[in-house]
Structure 1
Amino acid sequence: VVFGTVLFGRMHGGSGADRAMGLFMNTLPVRLDVDGTGVGESVRRTHARLAELLTHEHAPLALAQRCSGVAAPAPLFGALLNYRHNTLAALQGAVGDDVPGGIEWLGAQERTNYPLSLSVEDCEEALGLTAQVSGPVSAERICGYMQHALEHLAELLERSPHTPVRELEILPAAERGYLLEELNRTEAAYPSERCIHELFEAQVRRAPEAVALVHENERLSYGELNARANRLAHHLIALGVRPDQPVGICVERSAAMVVGLLAILKAGGAYVPLDAAYPGARLRQILGEAAPRLVLADAAG
């Protein structure tokens, strides 16, 4: 994982006419290891790498690009992390009482050239997060991820520092529940007394011209798919396939695979899926245990 880090972003200011404000910052890439390393060791490594970067704090980004080995125009990194010393008043868009007369504060906006820019606001008495993102994910959501990850990181550092860093939780409980439970509420009532191929045939009667299957440049309507499956089913019956008899099928993912599965079901058999990518010993084991009467196969199978 490579992201950019802003080494220095402090705002300097005096008072009255002597006030001088400037943006003094530099951006250098940092590489993090998200492997089996424990969170404690990972934090120590990251701290050491950031400390080493201080010797390069004045190096231009163009030099970092050349040294990285990442060929232009590919970006060196796509996320920016900025640690800023600030004040609560500045974050809230306020100004001090020493603003010269005739100056009115209208507001301010930040912009970034990176898909993701995350700033840690160090106000001495408090810490905050500011995110700027482009795309469908909201900045509030990104901050929620970061807050949850930091809270979980602090908990692991205290209780279980050897936990692999890749197991660090980034999803808040509410969003985890939404993704795993709410979006997966796909229960539907189906007639339990009817088989899959019978439900398919009912759809054929309702909409025979509707597109049932698309594979690359091939498109089959429900009627066409049903006709192909019927022809193959009659052939299987003629070869001796009986109800509940296992029939192997070893074909590439294609329209022929779906035709074969439907045909086996229509003939009354039970299909035994065989993946041609499996080792030969595994395929022989499956065939030996299932003992199918027939195996449908294409060139790959």
Structure 2
Amino acid sequence: LLPHHNVMRLFRATQDWYQFDACDVWSVFHSYAFDFSVWELFGALVHGAKAVVVPKEVARSPEDFHALLLREKVTVLNQTPSAFKQLIPVAVGKAQPLPLRYVIFGGEALDVGSLEPWFEAFGDRQPQLVNMYGITETTVHVTYRPISREDLDKEAVSPIGEVIPDLSWYLLDGNLGVAMPGSHGELHVGCAGLARGYHQRPALTAERFIPDPFDDRGQGGGRLYR
């Protein structure tokens, strides 16, 4: 159960990074059953921008999808890494550059090495590639990490970057203590983006949404999603 204000605060909290506006054109590539579509569709609507709904048959054809991106002058492209991997050879093989401002990854771990052909052809500044880690229960996105050519030389496979400013996150051990550097832990996310819980599933809600032991607001009631 996700209230609408969770979506609105997501765009307010990330606007300093992206500076989305009414001049943008967003492709709506994903099914509405996938939470990434919330970011795509409301990203356009909230900013008064244009949303281009991608037909299913076009989404399945990298060549046709590339043609749509050119024809509609899409500036904000959201992709799973596996889908973008299929688009890369088509884009690299075309002479005309895409009018993209951002390519935003989500939904899967990002293999940074797979982006090398893209960086060789287009560089790493225009468009800016960004990896965003997130979970449906935290309203789509939790983190923000611009990806550059320098990341090709690093060991990190899927860098997730920094937490969105109105969220909190902790890597905790089995006793809900902060995990020590170099040890394993479980990521817990708190504050503004959390869902209310699972519809008519109180036991699962209690299991996954737990009291926040680090809540310092003095009011109590803070929760973490685990």
Same fold (TM over 0.5): no
Bigger helix share: 1
When the two structures are superposed, what TM-score results if normalisation uses the length of structure 2? 0.23
When the two structures are superposed, what TM-score results if normalisation uses the length of structure 1? 0.18
Higher radius of gyration, 1 or 2: 1
